[in-house]
Amino acid sequence: MKPIGAVAIFWTGLALLPAVAADDAHEWRDVDPNNLVLIDTRYGEVAVELAPQFGPTHVERMRALTRAHFYDGLSFYRVIDGFVAQGGLGEGTASTKDHPKEAAALKRWPALKAEFERLATPDLKFTPLGNPDLFAPEAGHVNGFAAGRDMKQGRLWMIHCPGTFAFARDNGADTATTEFYIVIGEAPRRLDRNLTAFGRVIDGLQYVQKLQRGDQNIDNGVIQDSRRRDPILRIRLAADLPEKQRPHFQVMQTDSAAFAKEKAKRKNPAPEFYVRTPPPVLDVCGVPVPVRRVR
Amino acid sequence: MKPIGAVAIFWTGLALLPAVAADDAHEWRDVDPNNLVLIDTRYGEVAVELAPQFGPTHVERMRALTRAHFYDGLSFYRVIDGFVAQGGLGEGTASTKDHPKEAAALKRWPALKAEFERLATPDLKFTPLGNPDLFAPEAGHVNGFAAGRDMKQGRLWMIHCPGTFAFARDNGADTATTEFYIVIGEAPRRLDRNLTAFGRVIDGLQYVQKLQRGDQNIDNGVIQDSRRRDPILRIRLAADLPEKQRPHFQVMQTDSAAFAKEKAKRKNPAPEFYVRTPPPVLDVCGVPVPVRRVR
């Protein structure tokens, strides 16, 4: 047994961040503080990048809710292991009755028109993954987000992967108002084009994983005892913080050579470890888009 | 907005446990206490069902390690969010030096011959998923475990899904000894047929999700400060407990009509909610095999 022991297992199985080279600026982009939502949980800060290209009115709503301090003091009231962590008011659930004032204030936030998908316009650079997908005619990335595309229909949408940020809704398509969810399990692709996904967690998903779970057989996962729900301490938009207090993140450009290299590395992982070369395909949700915190 | 609010979202998107009918006994099987490993973490108990059909000598090793109290007091020393939680001694890592006595005892546990895959013999009932898989010629289930099959080669193997339990190894195929890992993120299918997967978490995966993470850019995710590692309080085999203290679980038979119904329900979820009927395909790792605790 070599001293490195079993830890050698995944050396290159992971998409480790490449060493930061001085001249790689064109392969990364800065996350716009107007699109950076910071969710404070008792476990740590969760950073979400919003994607106006996928859900412009939902992004606007999220900014407005944040600025109104709507979420501060509410909770992750419905958390189902392997599926989603849902936060906000929880209308019509055991959560609402604990917040009558907020429930009454809901009329300030009328239902939004669905943004499940959009036109595949040429301004959105879609980089195909390069292999088939089980669920979409084409899978790939747009500006750091996993996306599906159907060129026959000329449509494009955000794919539900672990970390995807979206708004919950009622049975009708145009019924989302304030409740959000974050995917915490194996990609629930059946939700694609059925809900408005408009962001993703770029840092701190591990804190979402620590949230108190509900029992999916009781009230569809809503945690009945409000004292057991983990609070949303506060949600802020980075743009609203003094410049010096904002975290700064960069996301690897998904149409860059650097990202193509990441994908190639995952398709052809370390031959010294992989006794059998894995099939040369990727799950679009199994390819982490690299993120780095600049400060 | 209907009072049920956004919670209606996932009503039937989940594979909820079917109501327990008096006459469904033939659709469930009892988990053998000889295959039931109980991992105590500070967050709760994690139950793992071992699969001797996939890794007989690894299962034997796991039972022996457990009976020798090998793991008790060791830690989850390498935890990478979205990938795996690895536990045990951590040979050749920052973990080993904290446990010189255990490291010395390692010679009791010689390296195992790999059991990455096996013959697809007729005694193993393989139930095909019913749609293509990205990584395997065929995907389906064997006795409650997600499995891949290649009938041209006559081979069958356990698929790496969230919750999969496996042994870590060094670069050589036949180098696993004592360290285990549990998958906690999007199915890392590149590991299929490259490591010996021989069980899965049937209860308490949410506690594994709470484990302290390492930084994958430092020592490949090994948590450097031993005080920050979450301990493995103890690991026991249910068969070693007095009958009355054992938890009893049942797993839905994956070759039953009930499981076929579960899969059909996921493929055709609630039309009142799904504005767009999802593609009628399943990700083999996105189909939870139902488990119930009898007592």
pLDDT in tens, B116-142: 999 999 999 999 999 999 999 999 999
Confidence at B10, pLDDT banded by 50, 70, 90: very low
Residues from chain A that touch B220, judged by Cβ atoms under 8 A, are 7, 10-11, 14
Residues from chain A that touch B177, judged by Cβ atoms under 8 A, are 1, 6
CA distance B144 to chain A (A): 17
Q: Residue B236 pLDDT more than 70?
A: yes
Residues from chain A that touch B131, judged by Cβ atoms under 8 A, are 134
Burial A271-291 (b: 16+ CB within 10 A, else e): eebbbeebbebbbbbbbbbbb
Confidence at A20, pLDDT banded by 50, 70, 90: low
Residues from chain B that touch A132, judged by Cβ atoms under 8 A, are 134
In chain B, what percentage of residues exceed pLDDT 70? 92
Any alpha helices (H) in A47-99, and if so which ranges? 56-67
Cβ pair B286, A183 in contact under 8 A: no
CA distance A248 to chain B (A): 19
A26: its two tokens: 């064109």
Which of A82-91, A130-139, B261-270: highest mean pLDDT?
A130-139
Q: Which helix (H) or strand (E) holds A258?
A: helix A257-267
Point out which residues pair with B139 in neighbouring strands: B148
Write the CB contacts of A17 (distance below 8 Å, at least 6 apart in sequence). A290, A292, B217
Model pTM score: 0.93
Residues from chain A that touch B88, judged by Cβ atoms under 8 A, are 6
CA of A234: how far to CAs of A246, A253, B122, in Å?
A: 15, 30, 57
CA distance A182 to chain B (A): 13
Q: Which helix (H) or strand (E) holds A29?
A: strand A28-30
Q: Return the higher-pLDDT residue of A116 and B216.
A: A116
CA A167 to chain centre: 11
CA distance A18 to chain B (A): 10
Q: Residue B291 pLDDT more than 50?
A: yes
CA distance A262 to chain B (A): 15
Confidence at B238, pLDDT banded by 50, 70, 90: very high
SS3 content of chain B, % helix, strand, coil (to 5): 25, 25, 50
CA of B2: how far to CAs of A115, A137, A170, B8, B32, in Å?
A: 20, 34, 7, 9, 46
Which of B1, B86, B92 is facing A91, going by the closest CB pair?
A: B1
Residue A19: count other Cβ atoms within 10 Å of its Cβ: 7
Cβ pair B27, B252 in contact under 8 A: yes
Region A131-137 average pLDDT: 97
Could you tell me how many helices (H) and strands (E) chain A has, helices first? 4, 17
Please judge whether B222 and A7 are an interchain contact, meaning their C-beta atoms are less than 8 angstroms apart.
yes
What is the SS3 string spanning A130-188? Answer: CCCCCCCCEEEEECCEEEEEECCCCEEEECCCCCEEEECCCCCCCCECCCEEEECCCCC
Please judge whether A162 and B186 are an interchain contact, meaning their C-beta atoms are less than 8 angstroms apart.
yes
Write the CB contacts of A243 (distance below 8 Å, at least 6 apart in sequence). none
Q: Give the residue from A2, A4, A10, A89 with the most B CB atoms within 10 Å of its CB, the best one to mutate.
A: A10
Confidence at A21, pLDDT banded by 50, 70, 90: low
Residue type at position A97? K
Please judge whether B266 and A187 are an interchain contact, meaning their C-beta atoms are less than 8 angstroms apart.
no
Residue type at position B187? A
The model's pLDDT over A215-270, given as tens digits with 9 standing for 90+, comes to 989 999 999 999 999 999 999 999 999 999 999 999 999 999 999 999 999 999 99
Confidence at A295, pLDDT banded by 50, 70, 90: confident
Q: Give the residue from B4, B9, B177 with the most A CB atoms within 10 Å of its CB, the best one to mutate.
A: B9
The pLDDT of residue B97 is: 74
The pLDDT of residue B54 is: 98
Please judge whether A92 and B3 are an interchain contact, meaning their C-beta atoms are less than 8 angstroms apart.
yes
Q: Residue A14 pLDDT more than 50?
A: no
Residues from chain B that touch A222, judged by Cβ atoms under 8 A, are 7
Q: Give the residue from B164, B186, B281 with the most A CB atoms within 10 Å of its CB, the best one to mutate.
A: B186
Confidence at A104, pLDDT banded by 50, 70, 90: confident
Residue type at position A286? G
Which of B1, B5, B190 is facing A269, going by the closest CB pair?
A: B190
CA distance B23 to chain A (A): 21
Which of A7, A170, A190 is facing B2, going by the closest CB pair?
A: A170
Q: How many CB pairs under 8 A join A and B?
A: 242
Q: Residue A16 pLDDT more than 80?
A: no
Q: Residue B8 pLDDT more than 70?
A: no
Of A26, A24, A47, A53, the C-alpha closest to A246 is: A47
Region B56-81 average pLDDT: 97
The pLDDT of residue B7 is: 40
Q: Residue A8 pLDDT more than 70?
A: no
Region B87-109 average pLDDT: 80
Of B84, B76, B81, B77, the C-alpha closest to B43 is: B76
Q: Return the higher-pLDDT residue of B66 and A100.
A: B66
The pLDDT of residue B99 is: 78
Region B249-270 average pLDDT: 95
* Distance from C-alpha of B64 to C-alpha of B59, rounded to nearest angstrom: 9
The pLDDT of residue B106 is: 83
Region A192-210 average pLDDT: 98
Of B237, B180, B249, B273, the C-alpha closest to B29 is: B249
The model's pLDDT over B158-173, given as tens digits with 9 standing for 90+, comes to 999 999 999 999 999 9
B77: its two tokens: 């020393």
The model's pLDDT over A232-247, given as tens digits with 9 standing for 90+, comes to 999 999 999 999 999 9
Please judge whether A171 and B8 are an interchain contact, meaning their C-beta atoms are less than 8 angstroms apart.
yes
Which of B14, B134, B286 is facing A216, going by the closest CB pair?
A: B14
Of A181, A211, A177, A173, the C-alpha closest to A198 is: A181
Lowest mean pLDDT among A4-8, A165-169, B223-227: A4-8
CA distance B125 to chain A (A): 25
The pLDDT of residue B98 is: 73
